[in-house]
C-alpha cells in the first residue's frame, strides 16, 4: 500500500485518524481546523510544545525551544495532530529563532483565523544567550482570561 502524504485528499480533508507522512518542510505541512462547537463563547486554548527543534541557518546546529501558543478560537479549532506535524516539520528547517516563532504564529492565524493568538518562543541559549520571542495578533478580547504562560526566564545556574 503506498504511503499517503500530508497533502493527500481525505473525505473530510483532515489528517486526523489516518496515517500521513511527516512533512519535510513547514511550507509542505498542512494545518487543519475543525468546527468550534462553542464559537459563540470567548475562551482560551493553550498548546505547549516543550521540545521544539529547528536548525541554525548559519551553523547548521540544532536549536531548541519551549513554545506556548494561546488562542481564542473563532469558527475553528486548531486540530492538534496537524499542529504536531507542522512543528515537527521545522526539525530540518534553517531559520533564526525570531523567524520560526513568528512564522508559526502567523501560519496558525492564517489557517484557522482565531479571534486572538499569542505565541511565546522560549529558546534555549545559543552562544550563551537565551532568546525569548513573543508575537500576538491585536488586543485580547474583552473579558477573556489569559493566564501567564508559566515559563520562567532562563537563569542558568542562578
Active centre residues (catalytic): 56, 63
CA angle 7, 10, 12 (to 5 degrees): 120
- Assign 99 to helix, strand or coil: helix
Angle CA 75–79–83, to nearest 5 = 125
b (16+ CB within 10 A) / e for 58-88:
eeeeebebbbbbbbbbeebbbbeebbebbbb
Amino acid at each position: 500500500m503506498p504511503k499517503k502524504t500530508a497533502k493527500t485528499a481525505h473525505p473530510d480533508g483532515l489528517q486526523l485518524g489516518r496515517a500521513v507522512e511527516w512533512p519535510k518542510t513547514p511550507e509542505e505541512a498542512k494545518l487543519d481546523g475543525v468546527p468550534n462547537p462553542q464559537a459563540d463563547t470567548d475562551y482560551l486554548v493553550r498548546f505547549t510544545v516543550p521540545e521544539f527543534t529547528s536548525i541554525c541557518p548559519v551553523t547548521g546546529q540544532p536549536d531548541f525551544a519551549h513554545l506556548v501558543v494561546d488562542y481564542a478560537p473563532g469558527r475553528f479549532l486548531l486540530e492538534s495532530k496537524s499542529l504536531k506535524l507542522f512543528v515537527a516539520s521545522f526539525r530540518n528547517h534553517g531559520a533564526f529563532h525570531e523567524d520560526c516563532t513568528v512564522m508559526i504564529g502567523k501560519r496558525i492565524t492564517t489557517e484557522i483565523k482565531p479571534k486572538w493568538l499569542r505565541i511565546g518562543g522560549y529558546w534555549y541559549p545559543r552562544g550563551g544567550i537565551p532568546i525569548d520571542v513573543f508575537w500576538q495578533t491585536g488586543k485580547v478580547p474583552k473579558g477573556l482570561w489569559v493566564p501567564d504562560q508559566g515559563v520562567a526566564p532562563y537563569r542558568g545556574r542562578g
